[in-house]
Structure 1
């Protein structure tokens, strides 16, 4: 029997006036910025939590705490690659990724394919195993009022095949 595990992750960051933000490993030039210790990529942070959770390795805050100056302004793609290494050490590999990014701003649809490509590259997955979707909050709550951006991630991981 294959050892499959599912993980779920969530992240939310406040928005401020700025010149752009990173989502799904892609920089999007816009009139907003994320308030965060690292680059504040909500999609990759949620994805890291989902992967870590699937293998019971804690969460992103344990591995990359915002109290550690090393992670100030860090590229969240480096977090994702390190998480992939950690789950690999635990004997697992990602099978597929399903991400939902919730944002009133910026408009994400034109960037979805680039996000999928970056995530697939960082997780060594075929692009057809990475889904990224975007939706709005129809003006409701902090996200809908353009004061925040959030993301949910679901992943399936499997025990890595061993060459015997």
Structure 2
């Protein structure tokens, strides 16, 4: 059995926060505002997995009004999401994601992000795709007000 899920996340860029994407700190003068580390890539991946499993969304499992998730590393949340996936006997078939940010340029960090995610999800890195693009100075991402991310995931039944 195959299941498909999609995820989306967006956070505002602000001064005084670290920029965390794909579980790594990216050198930049701004960071993403959020209750957790505000890692839009990981949050989109979590939502895609939860959607494929028909288990709701990230806010239902890790609410932003619960202090135990305050400033939490989103890779920890991804690991908890993997445990839910394992309980339902699913594994990653493949995952395709994109980060939309005018700046900073992310191409030098994408393979590190892929490695982090593949390790947490316990899947070969060849099944993890991460791309980055700008919106050519258009919209809130083009004005450098925020960063957003999308993800599509295919899950396969692990055990019949």
TM-score (norm 2): 0.97
Q: CA deviation at 1:17?
A: 1.6
Tell me the SS of whatever aligns to 1:110.
Answer: coil
Instruction: Tell me what 1:64 maps to.
Output: 62
Instruction: Tell me what 2:127 maps to.
Output: 129
What is the distance in 2 between the residues matched to 1:18 and 1:109?
24
- Contact 1:104–1:146 (CA under 8 A) maintained in structure 2: yes
Q: Which runs of 4+ in 1 moved over 2 A?
A: none
Shifted more, 90-99 versus 63-72: the winner is 90-99
Map Cα deviations across residues 86-134 of structure 1 (whole Å, 9 max, x no partner). 0110121111111100001221111001000000001011111100000
Instruction: Tell me what 1:106 maps to.
Output: 104
Tell me the SS of whatever aligns to 1:40.
Answer: coil
Q: CA deviation at 1:19?
A: 5.7
What is the distance in 1 between the residues matched to 2:56 and 2:89?
16
- Contact 1:19–1:29 (CA under 8 A) maintained in structure 2: no
Tell me the SS of whatever aligns to 1:121.
Answer: helix
What is the distance in 1 between the residues matched to 2:65 and 2:133?
31
- Contact 2:17–2:33 (CA under 8 A) maintained in structure 1: no
Structure 2 unaligned segments of length 5 or more: list them. none
Structure 1 unaligned segments of length 5 or more: list them. none
- Contact 2:52–2:155 (CA under 8 A) maintained in structure 1: yes
Q: CA deviation at 1:18?
A: 3.3
- Contact 2:17–2:32 (CA under 8 A) maintained in structure 1: no
What is the distance in 1 between the residues matched to 2:99 and 2:28?
16
What is the distance in 2 between the residues matched to 1:57 and 1:96?
19
Instruction: Tell me what 1:41 maps to.
Output: 39
1:12 corresponds, among 10, 13, 22, to 10
